[in-house]
Amino acid sequence: MASPRNERIAKNENAFRQLNESIENSVQRRRTDDDLGGFVCECGDEDCEDIVRLPLATYEEIRRDSRLFFTVPGHEMPEAEDVVRRGEGYHVVRKHVDVAEITDAGDPREPS
């Protein structure tokens, strides 16, 4: 069972993911997979406003797994997630299994 803090972190990250999906759907579609997109950091800090630039193809790879999020390096929260990939200017983090139900439910690409 997830701690209340880890649940809050997962919910915050879900909200940022949903914002990024909106950005990707409205602006990024006119670009190629090699282009860099600008997205909101998906860390668990609800006050974070940092921008992460990553290739659109990488964004799509991350979105294939509801437990993956991307952050500015240093914004990862080890108590709730593990860094699974490091890129230029971003980290990809995987949420711990205790919040998988929250991240799955909050994934706009998952069927309801």
- 92 secondary structure, DSSP code: E
The answer to whether the CB of 34 falls within 8 A of the CB of 55 is yes
Distance CA 20, CA 14 (A): 10
Q: pLDDT tens across 42-58, in order?
A: 999 989 999 999 988 89
**Which element (helix H / strand E) includes 100?**
helix 100-105
pLDDT at 32 over 80: no
**Average pLDDT of the residues in 22-34:** 67
Instruction: Write down the residue that tokens 């998988």 correspond to.
Output: 100
Q: Residue 28 — pLDDT band, cuts 50, 70, 90?
A: low
Q: Distance from CA of residue 28 to its chain's centroid? A: 16
Q: From the CB of residue 68, how many other CB atoms can be counted at a distance below 10 Å?
A: 20
Distance CA 24, CA 28 (A): 5
